């Protein structure tokens, strides 16, 4: 006649399962604590640089819209997102959220990574030299397209599309994003 399972063996199985569950919980707590500690020393630019280095897909929501692409460049006060065949220049103050794809579920930059030593104005001046057709979104919700004509210390001017000899000056404060194709 077969004996029913030994009660001590049942207790041993339960104890092993409890130990495994506790180990898994402890591992999750340790990982969360390490991520928290790493994040405390990271700046927003550092986070974006980490995403740039990982070359994973990101979704960036701005005051003017949403873009899915890859972090292309990080400057002192702006980020450039590569979206298909265009680059979107976004001042940090207009970035609302950044979501990483599955490969970037916890994006944290290394402490040694520094942003490009370039400001928004300097970068727009460089864009003026290489390509000057742009689409601009303003914080007011207005969208303008045209030829980038002049970049000053804190403003740019556009020669508007379809409007002969009409130009508009735009303060960097009013610039939510600028797209270059």
Q: Using CA atoms, how far apart are residues 49 and 128, in angstroms rounded to an integer?
A: 24
Question: Residue 52 has what pLDDT?
Answer: 86
CATH for the 41-181 domain, from 3.40.50.2300, 2.30.30.600, 3.30.70.260, 2.20.25.90 = 2.30.30.600
Question: Residue 179 has what pLDDT?
Answer: 94
Question: Residue 69 has what pLDDT?
Answer: 93
The reported pTM is 0.72
Q: Using CA atoms, how far apart are residues 101 and 64, in angstroms rounded to an integer?
A: 21
Query: Residue 102 has what DSSP assignment?
Result: G
Question: Residue 173 has what pLDDT?
Answer: 95
Q: Which residues of the chain have pLDDT under 70?
A: 1-8, 32-41, 101-115, 163
Q: Using CA atoms, how far apart are residues 105 and 39, in angstroms rounded to an integer?
A: 13
Question: Residue 53 has what pLDDT?
Answer: 84
């Amino acid at each position: 006649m077969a004996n029913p399972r030994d009660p001590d063996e049942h207790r041993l199985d339960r104890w092993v399962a409890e130990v495994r569950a506790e180990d898994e919980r402890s591992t999750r707590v340790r990982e969360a604590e390490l991520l928290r500690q790493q994040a405390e020393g990271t700046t927003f630019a550092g986070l974006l640089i980490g995403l740039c280095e990982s070359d994973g897909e990101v979704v960036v929501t701005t005051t003017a819209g949403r873009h899915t692409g890859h972090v292309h460049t990080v400057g002192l006060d702006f980020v450039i997102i590569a979206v298909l065949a265009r680059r979107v220049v976004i001042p940090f103050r207009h970035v609302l959220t950044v979501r990483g794809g599955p490969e970037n579920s916890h994006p944290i930059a290394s402490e040694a990574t520094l942003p490009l030593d370039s400001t928004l104005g300097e970068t727009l001046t460089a864009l003026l030299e290489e390509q000057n057709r742009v689409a601009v979104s303003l914080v007011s919700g207005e969208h303008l397209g045209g030829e980038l004509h002049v970049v000053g210390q804190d403003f740019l001017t556009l020669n508007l599309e379809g409007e002969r000899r009409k130009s508009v000056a735009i303060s960097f404060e009013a610039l939510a994003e600028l797209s270059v194709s």
